[in-house]
Amino acid sequence: MHNIHDSEENYLEAIVVLEREVGVVRSIDVANHLDLSRASVSNAMKKLEQEGHVTMQEDGSLTLSSSGRAIGEEIDLRHRTLKDWFLHVGVSPEVAEDDACKVEHAISAETFTCLRAYFDNNIRESKK
The pLDDT tens digits for 76-111 are 999 999 999 999 999 999 999 999 999 999 999 999
Q: What is the pLDDT of residues 16-66, one digit of tens each?
A: 999 999 999 999 999 999 999 999 999 999 999 999 999 999 998 999 999
Asked if residues 45 and 80 have their Cβ atoms less than 8 Å apart, the reply is: no
What is the pLDDT, as a whole number, of residue 126? 64
Is the model's pLDDT at 114 over the cut of 80?
A: yes
Asked if residues 41 and 62 have their Cβ atoms less than 8 Å apart, the reply is: no
The residues, any chain, with a CB within 8 Å of residue 28's CB and separated by 6 or more, are: 38, 41
C-alpha pair distances (Å), 120 with each of 35, 112, 117: 32, 12, 5
Residue type, 20: R
What is the pLDDT, as a whole number, of residue 127? 61
What are the structural domains of the chain?
6-70 (1.10.10.10), 74-127 (1.10.60.10)
Asked if residues 53 and 2 have their Cβ atoms less than 8 Å apart, the reply is: no
Other C-beta atoms closer than 10 Å to the C-beta of 2 total: 15
Q: What is the pLDDT of residues 19-31, one digit of tens each?
A: 999 999 999 999 9
